[in-house]
């Protein structure tokens, strides 16, 4: 966990987890299934979150919109509109 994440968590009194797979691929869908909300730029994570029906904010470049999950009440996509995305 980054120092900035720890500062944010302490300041806002929220439970925030920044994670990556450490031991086994199946850690990822397990962590996502236990999440209340997922924010990601990674397409694997966004597809797992969408499949697990977890509330999701996917941040993507406009260059490859076909990787985006379908918009729904709990699935939203934010596209970069400036620079290289």
Global pTM exceeds 0.75: no
pLDDT at 29 over 90: no
Average pLDDT, the chain: 82
Q: What is the pLDDT of residue 2?
A: 66
Give the pLDDT confidence of 4-23 residue by residue, as tens digits: 777 877 888 777 777 667 77
Q: How far is the CA of 78 from the CAs of 22, 32, 39, 71, in angstroms?
A: 28, 19, 10, 11
Q: How far is the CA of 4 from the CAs of 22, 36, 54, 56, 78, in angstroms?
A: 21, 21, 25, 22, 22
């Amino acid at each position: 966990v980054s120092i900035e994440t720890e500062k944010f968590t302490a300041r806002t009194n929220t439970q925030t987890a920044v994670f990556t797979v450490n031991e086994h691929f199946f850690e990822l869908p397990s962590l996502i299934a236990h999440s209340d909300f997922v924010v990601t730029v990674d397409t694997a994570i966004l597809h797992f979150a969408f499949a697990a029906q977890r509330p999701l904010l996917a941040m993507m470049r406009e260059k490859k919109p076909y990787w985006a999950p379908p918009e729904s009440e709990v699935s939203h996509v934010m596209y970069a509109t400036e620079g290289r995305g």
